[in-house]
Amino acid sequence: MPQTFTHRLKILFQHCDPAGIVFYPRYFEMVNQTVEAWFDTSLGFSFAEMHMQSGYGVPTASISADFTAPSRMGDVLDWSLVVMRLGRTSAQLDVTARDGDERRLSARLTLVYLQMAEGRPTPWPDDLRAAMSRYLVAETEA
């Protein structure tokens, strides 16, 4: 059975517009924070290590989101992440934010693993691919 990565974020003043609700671009920052936390705490491959030491990166190639309810300053959102597709050089992730039973945001994004100096996609390292596979809920792409 696949695992789901989860973590919790509190909505702060910095996330909100003058009406006190999350300004939608800030959700994309929180999605990225969720991905970065997953790489660091669950995959054992921090962005600092990846970008600064190994010379690889995982830029977002595409992202889409559905905003289903507003979030307000002080709300605490539970974020979850699963892998929907794991290709040779890319991965499609589903990220959801909830406050209790209420969904606030659903996002689907595609990350591409690349060698930063060349800017070209490269296959996932075997150990990273194996760690990501634990979160895979769909069929692996060849």
For 60-108, the pLDDT digits (tens) are 999 999 999 999 999 999 999 999 999 999 999 999 999 999 999 999 9
3-state helix, strand, coil in the chain (%, to 5): 25, 40, 35
**3-state SS class at 20:** coil
Query: Which backbone phi and psi does 10 adopt, to 5 degrees?
Result: -90, 135
Q: How far from chain centre, in Å, is Cα 130? A: 17
Report how far residue 114's alpha carbon sits from residue 61's, in angstroms, rounded to the nearest whole number.
11
Domains of the chain: 5-133 (3.10.129.10)
What's residue 52's pLDDT? 86
Please give the structure tokens belonging to residue 69: 């309810």
pLDDT score recorded for residue 142: 40
